[in-house]
Structure 1
């Protein structure tokens, strides 16, 4: 036997082991955040990682309540999903547009299981553990066909009551969860054990009753497939009894008592502040930053209170959920909440993984640059390609066979040019590649820059996917490229939705832009950093508005968009102007990137579903060259 050599490699130190098992709270403390702030940030972000918690703390740096002792309020819901949820959302939208808002529009569709209760921030992840344990205990009693809904309507309420079998299951969940929280966290929790119901409308005008009943009958079919999920939400205490307004236009404060508005942010506002406003301004608190100030109401729109809530856990009520064997940093032993590293494994009653993988499903975002453009290929093509009567004349096979009619024809083409034929083919090749990657049914949401070249690229990608007639294009001015390139010439004169539809493009005329054209005109001198902020606000709004609908997202815009739309999702700072301009030069026509999320808004790049698209330069051919005698002398 060989002699054992003396060992020189170092042993794994206890410090290395400690780093591998460090909790998010411990990491935040090591970063220098005070314990109360770290716990508050983790609770506010649903315990979804150090990065989100740190971002929340940095966003709330000017929040005067950051060190207050107030706790978050938690509530437990049973929520529908799938086709039935889509029908409910359709009814929600139609009833709001036809009959106006009523009390049901303040919350997402739900059945209340446990009333609001307050818990110290340090116990936020413990609640998830307790809920998962309850679902595991009762999972065998749950089947989706147990939830039979019976419609009911009165002069002030419309909705569905849950049948006895489904009610029995949900009441058991509510009672057991309430008992465990009361026992282990020492907080009184009241289960909702009266007649369980899903509200469709209440606090509505009695004159709207017949219209609402008709809408329910025409849009909601309780026999469609539905998966029910138990969801644990929380809200911050200052949101209680407040109306919520969503920011649709940005606003930079002009005086110190004004509130900065960022598109996609939410504002908590008291009903009295809105009703007593004499000038269209109200005082509110930003959900994003926690700061308070006055803001123009016309820059916002009323939305559901639940839009600002934090989702901590979502567990489906069928046998697809089962107890995980992973071990978290928190467990319950001998009736006490303890850290698992100090708990004896022999005395552990149950240990559950604190993971929200049963929440929002993973999805992808595809960001694509437009195809080859006419002006970059042929230069000043407008006077060259239009005769004295303004009629378009095709001077090259790579020029489009025809161009769409529009205002200020043909001058508007100078700043808003179409694609070349090669550009359209590049886009269609991209669509064919995505179809070969089985993305035909995956792409559900499509947003596009208002530039004609982008709309044409988007249309041809969808044509390659064979979904151009089924999936509509939402034209979003907020996706237009950096405005710093237009601070002298001014913005292009884009085609209207009506003109694009007349030209044969499947445009969603009902889509309301996040960044309307007037707002772009006001910010034509934006910096590169402000451009990245605009893109961040827009893409976050896209994600939030589509997260309950499922499906992947396609964004078609400009060369710089591949970085400006993805970089904020990766939690990276904006590039410097010099670095930004260098980066743009490396993005080819129809360049495509893909990002995926784990379902809790942690995004990362993945390999694009299609290979790169490369083509060589083809110089303009003059056939007269064949009549020329070339010099045959050696070079």
Structure 2
């Protein structure tokens, strides 16, 4: 046999591949056809976290009329607490807002400001990060960093925590060096904060609430608690400056050309004048998600922190003799916090990092359940023959629901957000009855559910079986939705809004703030299996943390894959491979249920479910017209 000739084309192809791998994100975006100014703006807006995220941002802003404006982003450097102090501060934030209403401190995350806000062109985003990284590492090597001592201060118009001089020196040195180096390289003016460094707890509050706020600070915040600090770089787009931020809690489809589409989980920039001067409940705003502007109903939103819309570029932990001081934002496979930040896009989620749970707590249980039988898997394409020309629902089979709820885009939205069959609802009630027979009626207090209609119906019917559907409300958590890889082409379903679910008779907690917002899911449709497991880890750890000081067990109702993805990290197991993941999901039946229990030290393990498994045979569709026919018994 003749010898194969050497393939020169192979070496050329290999070199081309190597060349592509060595290309920078900006070069790849330019090669994809995006203009340079847009590519730089997208990378800066997403914290330089990769080409995919930047491209998704550009596609989301395709109708943004300001996309080609030559505007700079505004940057800020904060020292943010972590550990037990951060937990206490977050609890104080929630309690003070609940009892005294919002004040100026609620517009930002807990922080100490190190430099003034400064503007910089988009192409310097990475340069600024590298400057902060380098000088933070220098400080850590040069100075001994111990526990930071804080002193509480309160007056009639301000309350906060002040650092002593020794601790202030560390932050001041970082501020001075950062200001000098950025001014020299980027040619912008910024000033370090060198006066009394402090963390603001409350300001711009009603003087009548002074006593309550002081009492909350004294009872919640322990200034001697061990604490660590992280140096964080944030940025915001120029249109967000001096704007209030409102979070969308109800969807809105524009009815006129000057109206703004509202998507649940999006944020809207609104001027104070527009919000306060509205005479009809409508205000003009700008969507954080799309950059589009228009009028929207204020009652479909709620005021939230301005910093919720900021981009987190990097975070560096201040800790002596640590091998992991740098927490720069990039798609690391080993740093869960970084991957959580990646998954959550350009919304800071540092509050979702979960320290070890304090030991000695009472044992708790968690139940994770799959939804019941879905109508589309049972009947296939059911919508065309179940709705007449006027959109009226017509029941075509006894296993079809007697009625379906009204919702936007009716009835087409049922195509991707399918309801349960009657058998599916009965399966859920059977599960609830089984739990009631196991004396769990008084134990289950915290209910979280995927936004899919089939999951909400299942959750509701389980609560009906437990006889607690009126006592315990359902928290809709988008982060519990199944793997996004199954929706990369079709996009997310159009789920029912809180208002539609409540109108349909479901006891929904409309005040619940999701761990993972809808907008974050929309912007992360290229989610890998590993990222899905980490998303589930983020959600389940946050739910455990949120409820750990409250009595009662947790019930999570979601999808077949959720039984594995929500429990796997609690069992200290690595994410499954895609092949193993799909294979496992096929073995989880409708209303499949798993139970976990912790010993009080945040170590979880599977326990025997409190209810027996639910089994039913396949019931083929009966066509009574066959009785007109004669059958040959011998061939039956």
Query: What band does the TM-score fall into relative to the shorter chain?
Result: 0.5 to 0.7
What SS class does the counterpart of residue 337 from structure 2 fall into? coil
Q: Deviations over 1:175-214 (max 9, x none)?
A: 1111111111111221111110000000111111111000
Residue 354 and residue 291 in structure 1: after superposition, are their counterparts in 2 closer, same or farther (change >3 A)?
A: closer
Shift of the 262–320 alpha-carbon distance from structure 1 to 2, 3 Å rule, reads farther
The whole-number CA distance in structure 1 between the counterparts of 2:175 and 2:369 is 47
Distance between the aligned counterparts of 1:194 and 1:492, measured in 2?
57
Residue 210 of structure 2 corresponds to residue 209 of structure 1: yes
- Whole-Å Cα distance in 2 between the matches of residues 502 and 131 of structure 1? 56
TM-score, normalisation: structure 1: 0.62
* Alpha-carbon distance in 1 for matches of 2:298, 2:4: 77
Q: Per-residue displacement from partner, 1:511-563 (whole Å, max 9, x unpaired)?
A: 89996553248899xxxxxxxxx99558679999996995588952256999x
Superposition deviation, residue 121 in structure 1: 0.2
User: Following TM superposition, by how much is the alpha carbon of 1:11 offset from its aligned partner in structure 2, in angstroms?
Assistant: 2.8
**Aligned twin of 2:448:** 474
1:348-390: CA deviation from partner (whole Å, max 9, x where unpaired)? xxxx9884757935569999623789xx9xx989xxxxxxxxx
Give secondary structure in 2 for the equivalent of 1:64. coil
Matches within 5 A, 1:363-378: 369-370=370-371
1:493–1:190 Cα change, 3 Å: closer
Partner of 1:82: 83
Name the CA distance, whole Å, in 2 between partners of 1:7 and 1:360: 48
In structure 2, the residue matched to 1:262 is 263
Q: In the alignment, which residue of structure 2 is the partner of 1:62?
A: 63
Give the C-alpha shift of residue 591 in structure 1. 7.2
Listed as ranges, the gaps of 5+ residues in structure 1 are 326-351, 382-411, 425-451, 484-490, 525-533, 566-583, 594-608, 621-634
| Aligned partners of 2:428 and 2:461 also within 8 Å | no
In the alignment, the residues of structure 2 paired with residue 87 and residue 267 of structure 1 have an alpha-carbon distance, to the nearest angstrom, of 29
Once the two structures are TM-superposed, the CA of residue 134 in structure 1 deviates from its matched residue by 0.6
Shift of 1:270: 0.4
2:512 corresponds to: none
> What residue in structure 1 maps to residue 199 of structure 2?
198
Look up the match of 1:222: 223
State the SS of the aligned residue for 1:245.
Answer: strand
Counterparts of 1:20 and 1:193, CA distance in 2: 44
Inter-CA distance 100–62: structure 2 relative to 1 (3 Å threshold)? same
Q: Deviations along 1:59-102, whole A, 9 cap, x unmatched?
A: 10111110001110000000012221111111111111111111
For residues 20-31 of structure 1, what are the structure 2 equivalents within 5 Å?
20-31=21-32
Gaps of 5+ in 2: 345-366, 379-396, 400-419, 479-494, 506-515, 525-533, 545-554, 567-584, 595-605, 620-635
Q: CA deviation at 1:166?
A: 1.3
Give the Cα–Cα distance (whole angstroms) in 1 for the partners of residues 144 and 467 of structure 2: 50
In structure 2, the CA distance between the partners of 1:47 and 1:470, relative to structure 1 (3 Å rule), is farther
- SS of the equivalent of 1:11 reads helix
Query: For 2:454, what is the secondary structure of its paired residue?
Result: coil
Matched with 2:129 is 128
Q: What's the TM-score, normalizing by structure 2?
A: 0.62
Whole-angstrom CA distance in 2 between matches of 1:506 and 1:175: 56
- Structure 1 residue 311 corresponds to structure 2 residue 312: yes
Instruction: Indicate whether 1:360 and 2:337 are aligned.
Output: yes
Question: Deviation string for 1:452-485 (max 9, x for gaps)?
Answer: 69xx89x999x9xxxx969832356x332399xx
Corresponding residue of 2:499: 518
Contact kept in structure 1, 2:96 and 2:213, CA below 8 Å: yes
Aligned-pair distance for 1:219?
A: 1.2
User: Could you say if the C-alpha distance between residues 322 and 496 of structure 1 is closer, same or farther in structure 2, counting changes exceeding 3 Å?
Assistant: closer
The alpha carbon displacement at 1:115 in A equals 1.0
Root-mean-square deviation (CA, aligned residues, Å) is 5.1
Q: Is the 8 A contact 1:129 1:354 kept in 2?
A: no
Other structure's SS at 1:474 match: strand
The residue number in structure 1 matching 2:302 is 301
- Classify the secondary structure of the residue corresponding to 1:114: coil
- CA 1:127/1:615 → structure 2, altered by over 3 Å: closer, same or farther? same
Asked if the contact 2:458/2:557 (under 8 Å) is kept, the reply is no
**Deviations along 1:252-284, whole A, 9 cap, x unmatched?**
000000000000000000000011100000000
C-alpha contact 1:247 1:263 (8 A) present in aligned 2: yes
Structure 1 segment 159-170 matched on structure 2, within 5 A: 159-170=160-171
- The change in CA–CA distance for 1:505 and 1:134 in structure 2 (over 3 A counts) is farther
Distance 1:110 1:51, change over 3 A: same
Q: For the Cα contact (< 8 Å) 2:57–2:523, is it kept in 1? A: no
Aligned to 2:313, the other structure's residue is in SS state: strand
- CA–CA distance in 2 between the matches of 1:243 and 1:535? 19
Partner Cα separation in structure 2 for residue 481 and residue 137 of structure 1:
54
Following superposition, the deviation at residue 220 of structure 1 comes to 1.2
Q: Deviations over 1:292-351 (max 9, x none)?
A: 1000000000000000000000110014655899xxxxxxxxxxxxxxxxxxxxxxxxxx
In 2, the alpha carbon distance for the partners of 1:592 and 1:495 equals: 15
Identify the residue that residue 415 of structure 2 maps to in structure 1.
none
Size of the alignment, in residue pairs?
Answer: 470
Q: How far 1:244 sits from its partner (Å)?
A: 0.3
* Higher Rg of the two aligned structures: 1
Partners in 2 of 1:538 and 1:460 — Cα distance? 39
Partner residue in 1 for 2:33: 32
Going from structure 1 to structure 2, the CA distance change for 1:51 and 1:119 (only over 3 Å counts) comes to same
Aligned partner of 1:11 in structure 2 is 11
Return the alpha-carbon distance in structure 2 between the equivalents of residues 78 and 303 of structure 1.
21
User: For each residue in 1:484-525, what CA deviation from the matched residue of structure 2 results, as whole angstroms up to 9, or x when unmatched?
Assistant: xxxxxxx8994697x68854999567889996553248899x
Deviations 1:430-459 (A, max 9, x none): xxxxxxxxxxxxxxxxxxxxxx69xx89x9
Aligned partners of 1:260, 1:158: CA distance in 2, in Å? 39
How far apart are the structure 2 equivalents of 1:57 and 1:592?
Answer: 41
CA contact (8 A) 1:74 1:234 kept: yes
Matched residues in 1 for 2:470 and 2:225: separation?
A: 32
